Amino acid sequence: MYKMALEKSYNVLLVDSGKDCINKYIEQKHKGNKIDVLLLDYKLGDMLGDIVARKISELNGVKTIMISAYDLDPDTVRDLIEKRCIVGTIRKPISLPVMINQIEVLLNGSNL
């Protein structure tokens, strides 16, 4: 659903797991492609999103928005933001106009 809404205006890469996300990020970086924003679900099939966010951050990361249907631990979120692993969070269910607005804010150089 997100991909369909976003691909009208953006190039969208889609992966199915945390490992695939990290590998795709590395692959794109080696190809010289820039990823501007990462929408990262917290509950992934193979690992939690905070682990992926930390790893991507170590690789000279990207502006990452953590998405979750669950209440995230405030200390974890604060730590991820302070360490610049994520720029913010979005709670499911997601309003597509709100999500698109937040992406545009990030792409224009502002923080959430």
* pLDDT value of residue 1: 82
What is the total count of domains within the chain? 1
Domain membership flag for residue 18? yes
CATH number of the domain enclosing 86: 3.40.50.2300
Which ranges in 14-89 belong to alpha helices (H)?
A: 18-30, 49-58, 74-82
Domain membership flag for residue 42? yes
Give pTM, 2 decimals.
0.91
- Beta strand pairing call for 88-91 and 63-68: parallel
Domain membership flag for residue 109? no
How far are the Cα atoms of 10, 11, 16, 62, 65 from residue 42, in angstroms, in the given order? 22, 22, 13, 16, 10
Domain membership flag for residue 112? no
pLDDT tens per residue, range 27-62? 999 999 999 999 999 999 899 999 999 999 999 889
Contact 76, 88 (CB under 8 A): no
DSSP state of 102: H
Helices and strands (H and E) in the chain: how many: 5, 3
Structural domain including 28 reads 2-102
Domain membership flag for residue 46? yes
Domain membership flag for residue 49? yes
